[in-house]
Amino acid sequence: MKLNINNTFSEELPSDPVLENSRRQVRNACFSYVTPKKTSNPSILHVSEEMRCELGLTKEDTVSKDFLEIMTGNKVMEGTKPYAMHYGGHQFGNWAGQLGDGRAINLTEVVHNSKRWAVQLKGAGETPYSRNADGLAVLRSSIREYLCSEAMYHLGVPTTRALSLAITGDHVLRDILYNGNAAYEKGAVVSRVAPSFIRFGSFEVLSAHGDHKTLKLLTDYTIKHFYPEIESTGKEAYVLFLKRVSERSLKMVIDWQRVGFVHGVMNTDNMSILGATIDYGPYGWLEVYDHGWTPNTTDSQFKRYRYGTQPEIVLWNLYQLANALFPLVEEVDPLENVLDEYQNSYKNEYLHMMTSKIGLFSKQSEDSILIKVLEELLQSIETDMTIFFRKLGKYKKGSFDQGVQIISDAFYESNDLKGDILKRWNDWFIMYDERLNIEILGDEERKDKMNIINPKYVLRNYMAQLAIDDADKGDYKLIDELYQMLKKPYSEQPEYEKWFAKRPDWARDKVGCSMLSCSS
């Protein structure tokens, strides 16, 4: 197996001088060297073809013994020195101090086709940052991370990627609902890939420790490799850096809102500095359109990370990043201006995204009302988000009296559609139809454009759970079926029509489908 190894993070940034794998507080360093844990009887369950090609690996490579051993922790690739990254974070609104890669281990960076990739194992064993946990990951959460990160890539949402999914042959103890019912589960490792795994928390931890020297090194490194378009130097560069991170993070969260993805645990240690979705833990997909929904039972009391607040939370997290960068800028105003800009751009971008979802591509002053009324209606009775927007593409100008009929599959209880609600829906279609008259696109063209904005297939929570249930019994076919289908989320794919359906009733309140915890 030949990878074009080219390490920059570990070559250019300070490492923790302690080499033993003991839990500790790390200072003046961006990472600690650590070797992945050996696994007892590993086997690869799936490999992402697209990611394999991105890294310059052949099919033969991915079925080799080397690949199996390297991607499950049993062998360290020649010429590499794996390491865990040092970071901190704000968790659920509070500063949590040092966190770091407690179970993720970076193997190496690779350059292929002029693109830089860091390859990391998640669930690869204890590190200096493991605190009181075991450094491992279970099959259920690894299937969810593997499938969803690749699905998000194909949806066009900025994200970390996955290369392989493996079981380790070891057993891992977990208490899924934190209610005293711990049980052994199959251990697993996902090899995941991103240009870099640096997080907001990587900057925060250095700033919190007053280590401005390493903070500056890390910021300069990040700009040099990942924001090369920033040509200025000094304070100006750091302000621009915050601005670019804020723009990328805004794009990411607008995409989340567009496809109905709820991250579930948007702590600052789970915010990539590249504006990519990272940490597929207790995430979920909106089935019933509901701004108040979060899949994460650990957050059920305050619902801090519910669907509707995700863009505000990104802003809150950017504030923490701005605070962390403050020692490099020493002026509040320019940093605050960047955050103010986020707020303005967010309003515009959100409206633009929502209007494009309903096939409006010109701007009109009344559009915000049309969208607001629609959002209220979508929440007035249980309405499936994916089905609603996809079906709306079939609407034909002038047929407002058939509007409700066209989207009626999206309603979970069509009996609820009566009286005032039905009237309000009909009124909305009249408004919508009038507004469509200002658009230049015809029905077919509008539908085609809407169909590359509104996915037909997403990884509904119960679908991942079905794949997990099968995998627990040793049947991995559904993992591949979902993986193949989710490669083309915007295409019709009649062979997969059965997955274009509302959540089945059995999944309504089932653990793993509508209730997920951080236990993984």
Ligand X SMILES: Nc1ncnc2c1ncn2[C@@H]1O[C@H](COP(=O)(O)OP(=O)(O)OP(=O)(O)O)[C@@H](O)[C@H]1O
Going along 64-198, which residue ranges are E strands?
83-85, 88-91, 94-98, 104-112, 115-122, 137-138, 161-174, 183-194
Of 17-25, 97-105, 456-464, 474-482, the window that binds ligand X (rule: CB under 6 A) is: 97-105
Whether the CB-CB separation of 311 and 251 falls below 8 Å is answered with no
Between 297 and 454, name the residue whose CB sits nearer to ligand X.
297
CA 162 – CA 141 distance, rounded (Å): 13
> 4: closest CA among 114, 138, 128, 93?
114
Which pair of tokens denotes residue 519?
């236990």
Least distance in angstroms from the C-beta of 320 to ligand X: 15
DSSP letter for each residue of 246-272: HHHHHHHHHHHHHHTEE-S---GGGBB
Burial class from Cβ neighbours inside 10 Å (0-12, 13-18, 19+) for residue 405 reads exposed
56 binds ligand X (CB under 6 A): no
Least distance in angstroms from the C-beta of 317 to ligand X: 13
Instruction: Establish whether 135 is an annotated binding residue.
Output: yes
Q: Give the catalytic positions in this structure.
A: 269
97 binds ligand X (CB under 6 A): no
**104 contact choice in Mg ion, ligand X, none (CB below 5 to 8 Å, kind-dependent):** ligand X
189 binds ligand X (CB under 6 A): no
Q: Tell me, what amino acid is at 349?
A: E
Least distance in angstroms from the C-beta of 102 to Mg ion: 9
* Per-residue mark of binding to ligand X, 136-175 (x: CB under 6 A): x---------------------------------------
Instruction: Establish whether 475 is an annotated binding residue.
Output: no
Of 13-21, 225-233, 273-281, 402-410, the window that binds ligand X (rule: CB under 6 A) is: 273-281
Between 151 and 371, name the residue whose CB sits nearer to ligand X.
151
Q: Which of 270, 296, 297, 320 binds ligand X (CB under 6 A)?
A: 270
Contacts with ligand X: how many residues (CB under 6 A)? Answer: 21
Which pair of tokens denotes residue 262?
């709820």
Least distance in angstroms from the C-beta of 178 to Mg ion: 17
Helices in 55-187 by DSSP H: which ranges? 59-62, 65-71, 139-155
Three-state SS at 384: strand
Least distance in angstroms from the C-beta of 267 to Mg ion: 7
Instruction: Establish whether 192 is an annotated binding residue.
Output: yes
Per residue in 96-133, is it b (16+ CB within 10 Å) or e — as a string?
A: bebbbbbbbbbbbbbbeeeebbbbbbbbbbbbbbbeee
List interacting residues with ligand X (CB under 6 A): 99-104, 122, 129-130, 133-136, 265, 269-270, 278-279, 281, 518, 520
Instruction: List binding-site positions for Mg(2+).
Output: 270, 279
Instruction: List binding-site positions for ATP.
Output: 100, 102-103, 122, 134-135, 192, 199, 279
